[in-house]
A = this chain, B = another copy of it.
Amino acid sequence: MITNIQKIQSWLETKRLSGYWVTKPENVRWLTGYEGHFGIVLIQKKGRNLLITDSRYSTFAKKLSKGKDFDFFCYDQNFKENIKKEFSGSVYAIEDSLTIAQLKNIEKSFPQIKWRSLSQKIEGFRRSKSKDELQKIATAQSNVDDIFRNFFQKHLKVGVTEKEIEYKLKHAIEAEGKFGHAFEYVIAFGENSACPHYHAQNRKLRLNENVLIDCGATYDGYCSDMTRNFWFGGKVDPEFQSKYDLLLHAQVESMKEIKVGVKVKNIDKICRELLGEEEKSFTHSYGHGVGLEIHEAPNLSGRSKEILLENEVVTSEPGLYYEGKFGIRIEDLVIVKKDGCEVLSNTPKELIIIKS
């Protein structure tokens, strides 16, 4: 089986580059499995591939490199001198996620090397997920689905605050430390849900209003992402219900278009057409890739030129937002397949009504 490092090496063969100096933590992890706080991967056309970290992580890094296509290399007091002997060429790629300070530092340390900053290159290779990666994402999502089965029926009550729900939901999802959080959750009551990236405040829940929950777990570094909507109280606002039905229809129908080879902008377009006049209240893009990062390539927007690849994991998350009134977003996590998509989110999508 071809390793992730070999994928980058094959690509390097087509370029005037001696190698790649990789520091972005998610890229380092994808290439080597290393998840410590400080790590660099040096990939080379010729010469050794190295996983560089300091003595704190040496045991872990040595274990990772055993029988692999990279060696552990220690970042110690003599690092600069020692690593110079490893460079097999003079032009190396770096990621444009490096800061200006980091770039200046590396230029000063190795004046003999020319550094070429590249944008989202390794991230492109990370798009199609392996079986193992898909399993981890599914595990993270399945944990959230399990919690959604009873959590809101139990905890949504008149007077409870968004922050209290956030706190309890986070702890439930952690499951005693087995899972982490993929991002800052959106817990929004009533008019606060009109803000797509709202953060929980001390707003109290009232009778007969909507609740929007956008949350995701991490499992072994991999993220999940899902949004669901509740109506709290017995009297559903007919305007809310009709907007909900419209959005659900558009989400379900547009999701049918997700498959290998489709232009992502077409999915966004179909969804917008189905929303008709309400489309102007769909103020963000259709979705995004999910993996080691909660937002990664591809961006499923109307301006994107990307085509969907097999086994990439993306969100389908159209939303409608009405300032001062309410917002709705329905979001599923799916795997792109040849003939369609496999939905990972197992929580029902019909409006969930919770009687007080």
A residues whose Cβ falls under 8 Å from a Cβ of B: 37, 56, 94, 96-101, 103-104, 117, 119, 163-164, 166-167, 171, 174, 176-177, 195-198
Cβ–Cβ contact B177 & A167, under 8 A: yes
**6 smallest beta-carbon distances between A and B, as pairs:** A96-B101, A96-B100, A100-B117, A167-B177, A97-B99, A56-B195
Cβ distance A215 to chain B, nearest Cβ, rounded Å:
16
Known: A196-B56, A197-B37. A98 touches B96 (CB 8 A): no
List 10 A–B pairs whose Cβ atoms lie within 8 Å, in order of A's numbering: A96-B99, A96-B100, A97-B101, A98-B99, A98-B100, A100-B103, A101-B119, A163-B177, A164-B177, A167-B176
Complex alpha-carbon distance, A96 and B117, angstroms: 16
B residues in contact with A100, CB < 8 Å? 94, 96-100, 103, 117
Cβ distance A80 to chain B, nearest Cβ, rounded Å:
16
Cβ–Cβ contact B99 & A99, under 8 A: yes
Complex alpha-carbon distance, A119 and B101, angstroms: 7
Cβ distance A117 to chain B, nearest Cβ, rounded Å:
5
Number of copies: 2
Cβ distance A212 to chain B, nearest Cβ, rounded Å:
14
B residues in contact with A167, CB < 8 Å? 174, 176-177
Write the chain B residue with the least CB distance to A115. Answer: B100
B residues in contact with A96, CB < 8 Å? 99-101, 104
Write the chain B residue with the least CB distance to A59. Answer: B195
Complex alpha-carbon distance, A27 and B281, angstroms: 34
Cβ distance A42 to chain B, nearest Cβ, rounded Å:
18
Cβ distance A296 to chain B, nearest Cβ, rounded Å:
15
B residues in contact with A164, CB < 8 Å? 177
Complex alpha-carbon distance, A163 and B98, angstroms: 32
B residues in contact with A97, CB < 8 Å? 99-101
B residues in contact with A195, CB < 8 Å? 56
Cβ distance A192 to chain B, nearest Cβ, rounded Å:
11
Complex alpha-carbon distance, A56 and B98, angstroms: 28
Complex alpha-carbon distance, A167 and B170, angstroms: 13
Write the chain B residue with the least CB distance to A176. Answer: B167
B residues in contact with A101, CB < 8 Å? 96-97, 117, 119
Complex alpha-carbon distance, A174 and B163, angstroms: 12
Write the chain B residue with the least CB distance to A197. Answer: B56
Write the chain B residue with the least CB distance to A283. Answer: B55
Write the chain B residue with the least CB distance to A200. Answer: B177
Complex alpha-carbon distance, A117 and B98, angstroms: 14
Complex alpha-carbon distance, A197 and B56, angstroms: 7
Complex alpha-carbon distance, A97 and B177, angstroms: 32
B residues in contact with A117, CB < 8 Å? 100-101
Complex alpha-carbon distance, A69 and B87, angstroms: 52
Complex alpha-carbon distance, A195 and B60, angstroms: 13
Write the chain B residue with the least CB distance to A177. Answer: B167
Write the chain B residue with the least CB distance to A120. Answer: B101
Residue from A96, A167, A198 having most chain B Cβ neighbours under 10 A: A96
Complex alpha-carbon distance, A97 and B100, angstroms: 6
Write the chain B residue with the least CB distance to A323. Answer: B55
Complex alpha-carbon distance, A56 and B197, angstroms: 7
B residues in contact with A119, CB < 8 Å? 101
Complex alpha-carbon distance, A163 and B97, angstroms: 32
Cβ distance A153 to chain B, nearest Cβ, rounded Å:
22
B residues in contact with A171, CB < 8 Å? 171
